Amino acid sequence: MERLKSTTVVAIRHEGQVAIGADGQATLGNTIAKSSVNKIRKLQGGKIVTGFAGSTADAFTLLEKFEEKLGAYSNNMKRAAVELAKDWRTDRMLSKLEAMMIVADEMDILILSGTGDVIEPDLGIATIGSGSMYAQAAARAMKKYAPQLTAEEMVRESLSIAADICIYTNHNLIIEKVNG
């Protein structure tokens, strides 16, 4: 069976703002299965925003588990992320899930993976998915050469550049800002 491939997710912290966005494409083999998937979720009234890449069902399972961890650890995003990553790596059912997540609040941006990684990226830029390296290169250039842009504008441009290059990324973008 062909595997579902998808996406590019970008989070950027710039000038006290945090924005996270993703494209809307899900691809099955060499066919676009859907062009308007929402891969961004706001939690706690927008104080935490998440983005996911990989299997949608797996990502929703991880999102539910992350919300449980937030509740268990008094909405401490970093602690909840570490505890989710531990469970994801060691739990028999969770360890089979194929997805990655970016979680962001006004203080931190973190990348979570099923190998137990909780990565706080350099330069306030986090990217995951098939177009992540294109988006990361674009975001780094904008932070250096176009610092007048907002975090939201940088996310939009990074995703747009990735969509121009990566066949698994489209221009149907959803971008959310983290509420402080």
Could you give the number of structural domains in the chain?
1
Per-residue pLDDT, averaged over 146-150, amounts to: 98
pLDDT for 54-74, tens place per residue?
Answer: 887 788 888 999 999 999 999
4, pLDDT greater than 50: no
- Residue 123's φ and ψ, nearest 5 degrees, are 65, 10
Most distant CA atoms of the chain, gap in Å: 47
Domain enclosing residue 39, as ranges = 4-174
**The pLDDT value given to residue 54:** 84
- Tell me whether residue 104 is annotated as binding: no
Between CA 84 and CA 18 the distance in angstroms is 22
- How far is C-alpha 126 from the geometric centre of its chain's CA atoms? 7
> What are the structure tokens assigned to 69, written together?
């961890």
CATH number of residue 67's parent domain: 3.60.20.10
Tell me which residues are annotated as active site. Answer: 7
Between CA 4 and CA 18 the distance in angstroms is 29
180 within domain boundaries: no
- Tell me whether residue 169 is annotated as binding: yes
Per-residue pLDDT, averaged over 102-115, amounts to: 94
- Using pLDDT thresholds of 50, 70 and 90, give the confidence band for residue 1: very low
104 within domain boundaries: yes
179 within domain boundaries: no
69 within domain boundaries: yes
92 within domain boundaries: yes
Between CA 173 and CA 21 the distance in angstroms is 7
Contact status, residue 10 vs residue 145, Cβ threshold 8 Å = no
**The pLDDT value given to residue 5:** 54
> What are the structure tokens assigned to 58, written together?
């797996």
170 within domain boundaries: yes
